[in-house]
Amino acid sequence: MDLTAKLKELEERYEQLEKELSHPDVFKDQKKYQALTKEHSDLGSVVRVYRDFQDVQHQVSENRGLLNDPDPDMRELAQVELEELEGRAEKLENELKHLLLPKDPLDEKNVLLEIRAGTGGDEAALFAADLFRMYSRYAEEKGWKVEVLSEHPTGIGGYKEIIAMISGNRVYSHMKYESGTHRVQRVPDTETQGRIHTSAVTVAVLPEADEVDVDIDPSELRVDVYRASGAGGQHVNKTESAVRLTHIPSGLVVQCQDERSQHKNRAKAMKVLAARLLDLKKREQHDQLSAERKQMVGSGDRSERIRTYNFPQGRVTDHRIGLTLYRLEAIMQGDLNELMEALGTYFQAQSLAAGGQEGA
């Protein structure tokens, strides 16, 4: 089906929904009413742009007719307007193509954010804490909730690892491009010679798994309980409240000891395990795609370096899209909107290009 036929079909469905929603009987079935309202709202953004596009196309046709006008002034005016209208039509057509891209079913989900110190020792652990603050402030600005599920702090204010659940409206759609290796270049507080050190931190953003997404068979789980320990290995609990889950088929191991209740630790560990299993399932599906397709859409491999934070020069560079912003301080305070929007636009364009090649 070509673009015009698809848009016409969507417009007809939108008009049909308007008629259904205006019928008084529809309010009696709240579940159906909510489903129709959501579909109407989702289609509305496409239909509005489509109608603008039709209007501009009509004006383009009229101006082309005026290019043959006997009045030279009219012909010149029509030519100027035609160039402007064709530019608007192209923008609206591209916007429609973006709106018609298949929606990622995971976009609506909450996320499990995992941040781990990589190469760089104490400096990497400190930067892991900086990244967690950055994402927490971004979440606060978005009105999202951040709940720490597991943390392994260092004695100087850093994190060897921290895992948190971020809940809110379409969290995964905003955060999904953050997975990868984040590199930092700066002079550590402990450096007396003023030398710049390079450290690395890995970030994983996993969509929260629902029961329908991942089915965990209890018989495939090994559950170990033990006494929680603090820094230096000393026991901080007299009861065996810490929980370690091992998923035997995949070999995944999750442990949680932050809560005093074994029940709460187990519940948190199950959330982490489910999200990791969903991520594993998603990766296996990605691996079945062609190498060309993966290259177009981006693999999201956490092993690849995706971004560098250079403190001496006050800049942040995202290597995937070649974007450098000299706003390091604001970004570290959670001002990530410009970066997130640029990434979303880039990967949408990649998906469009891939779709175009598939349809060729």
DSSP H helices in the chain? 3-22, 30-66, 72-99, 121-142, 171-175, 262-287, 291-297, 328-332, 337-359
The predicted pLDDT at position 286 comes to: 62
Q: Is the pTM of this model over 0.75?
A: no
The reply to whether CATH 3.40.50.2000 applies to domain 218-284 is no
pLDDT in tens, 260-314: 788 888 888 888 888 888 888 877 766 654 443 344 333 434 457 899 999 999 9
All structural domains of the chain with their residue ranges: 3-99, 111-208+326-354, 218-284
pLDDT in tens, 333-351: 999 999 998 998 888 777 7
Q: How many CB atoms lie within 10 A of CB 190?
A: 11
Identity of the amino acid at 222: R
Do 234 and 155 meet the contact criterion of CB atoms below 8 Å apart?
A: no
- CATH architecture for residues 3-99: Up-down Bundle (1.20)
The predicted pLDDT at position 354 comes to: 65
Backbone angles phi, psi at 318, to 5 degrees: -95, 115
Do 221 and 247 meet the contact criterion of CB atoms below 8 Å apart?
A: yes
Query: Measuring CA to CA, how many Å separate 221 from each of 98, 157, 182, 247, 261?
Result: 43, 34, 33, 5, 20
The predicted pLDDT at position 156 comes to: 87
The predicted pLDDT at position 228 comes to: 72
Q: Tell me the DSSP string of 29-80.
A: -HHHHHHHHHHHHHHHHHHHHHHHHHHHHHHHHHHHHHTT-S-HHHHHHHHH
* Eight-state DSSP code of residue 209: P
Q: How many CB atoms lie within 10 A of CB 301?
A: 13
Q: Give the class (CATH, top level) of 111-208+326-354.
A: alpha beta
The predicted pLDDT at position 213 comes to: 65
Low-confidence ranges of the chain (pLDDT < 70): 1, 190, 192, 211-213, 229-239, 285-303, 352-360
Helix (H, G, I), strand (E, B), or coil: what is residue 152? strand
The predicted pLDDT at position 155 comes to: 84
